Amino acid sequence: MTLCNNRNIIITGAGAGLGRAYALALVAEGAAVVVNDIRRDAAEAVVAEITAAGGRAIASSDDITSMTGAAAIVAAGVEAFGEVHGVVNNAGVVRDRMFASMSEDEWDMVIKVHLKGHFCIANTLVKRWRDQVKAGNKVSGRIINTSSGAGLQGNIGQSNYSAAKGGIAALTLVQAAELGRYGITANALAPAARTGMTEGPFGEMMKPPADGSFDHYAPENVAPLVVWLCSEASAGCSGRVFEVEGGRLSIANGWKTGTITDKKARWNPAELTDVVAGLIAEAPPAQKVYGT
């Protein structure tokens, strides 16, 4: 039996890049998939590739940033396959600009697609799964979110994207804490791979090796973890942010309370220069913001 046999998964932004790689890998492990992409032709091309190989898939181009669109995506999956067991929130956009030059529209677009896009489908599915549990049924739901190294440590020229991806990491922690009682896990990825969004700034660095050796930045390298997270085998894993690059896999360590200095009284502002300097000296150094 394959790892995701009888599992039905929604994948957003699945018309190319990482999303396509996830769809193909999930189907290879027995899943049926809803291939969602704002580009209908791209979604249909991936579905055609899957069905030609004997897999099960349907295309969707509904809007992930509205509850109406999310409901339509979930309904399509339920109608086609009988149930939906997980979502891979993969869709995203970039509008790179230095913070001082960024427009309101550039900020709003990135926050909407990433943060609200992650909310709508997951919220729709969680309500469905919660109702099933309340009716006495067992649920094994999976939410796989997409953060980024930019969200974990920041990236010059991507304040909007970094803020959205950092928010997604925090969202994942809260989802995991709240939803475990229903049999739902929530985890996030911070992948480093060749996609449409990396072609500009990282195109040369991430291009496939000419000698046919291991393609470190191939999106297919991230897909095995996604398959595992979508499966029932991952039931004991929730609230984690995985960094994946090539054959490298790690779990990110988040913010933690550092050394505490307690005066047991109110601080005088003039005292804090030396106090804060001491706290910084004792704190482990943070990873540098990308681009610095």
Nearest to 183 by CA among 225, 143, 228: 143
288 conformational bin, left if phi > 0, alpha if psi -120 to 50, beta if neither:
beta
Neighbours of 47 (CB within 10 A): 22
Q: Which of 196-200, 267-271, 272-276 has the lowest mean pLDDT?
A: 196-200
Kindly tell me if the per-residue pLDDT of 275 is higher than 80.
Answer: yes
In sequence order, what are the beta bridge partners of 244? 191, 249
pLDDT in tens, 31-50: 999 999 999 999 999 999 99
Check residue 254 and give its pLDDT. Answer: 84
Give the Å distances, CA to CA, from 79 to 51, 58, 228. Answer: 17, 10, 25
| 60, 61, 148, 238: the active-site residue | 148
* 120 alpha-carbon distance from chain centroid: 14
Mean pLDDT of 19-31: 98
Kindly tell me if the per-residue pLDDT of 279 is higher than 80.
Answer: yes
Confirm whether 161 is a catalytic residue.
Answer: yes
Kindly tell me if the per-residue pLDDT of 137 is higher than 70.
Answer: yes
Kindly tell me if the per-residue pLDDT of 197 is higher than 70.
Answer: no
Nearest to 92 by CA among 24, 177, 151: 151
Higher-confidence position of 255 and 273: 273
Kindly tell me if the per-residue pLDDT of 160 is higher than 60.
Answer: yes
| 60, 61, 159, 161: the active-site residue | 161
Mean pLDDT of 77-101: 97
Which class is domain 8-251? Answer: alpha beta
Mean pLDDT of 100-126: 98
Confirm whether 127 is a catalytic residue.
Answer: no
In sequence order, what are the beta bridge partners of 164? none
Kindly tell me if the per-residue pLDDT of 6 is higher than 80.
Answer: yes
Q: Do the strands 86-88 and 141-146 form a parallel or antiparallel pair, or are they unpaired?
A: parallel
Per-chain mean pLDDT for the chain:
94
In sequence order, what are the beta bridge partners of 242? 189, 251
Indicate the SS3 state at residue 10: strand
Q: Report the distance separating Cα 157 and Cα 167, nearest Å.
A: 17
Kindly tell me if the per-residue pLDDT of 202 is higher than 70.
Answer: no
Q: Report the distance separating Cα 156 and Cα 71, nearest Å.
A: 36
pTM of the model: 0.93
Confirm whether 148 is a catalytic residue.
Answer: yes
In sequence order, what are the beta bridge partners of 186? 143
Q: Which of 20-24, 120-124, 154-158, 213-217 has the lowest mean pLDDT?
A: 213-217
Token pair listed for 243: 């960094």
Predicted confidence band at 233 (pLDDT cuts at 50, 70, 90)?
very high
Predicted confidence band at 282 (pLDDT cuts at 50, 70, 90)?
very high
**Cα R_g (the chain), whole angstroms:** 21
Q: Is 87 exposed, middle or buried (0-12, 13-18, 19+ CB in 10 A)?
A: buried
| 22, 61, 159, 165: the active-site residue | 165
In sequence order, what are the beta bridge partners of 32? 8
% of the chain with per-residue pLDDT over 90: 86
Indicate the SS3 state at residue 91: coil
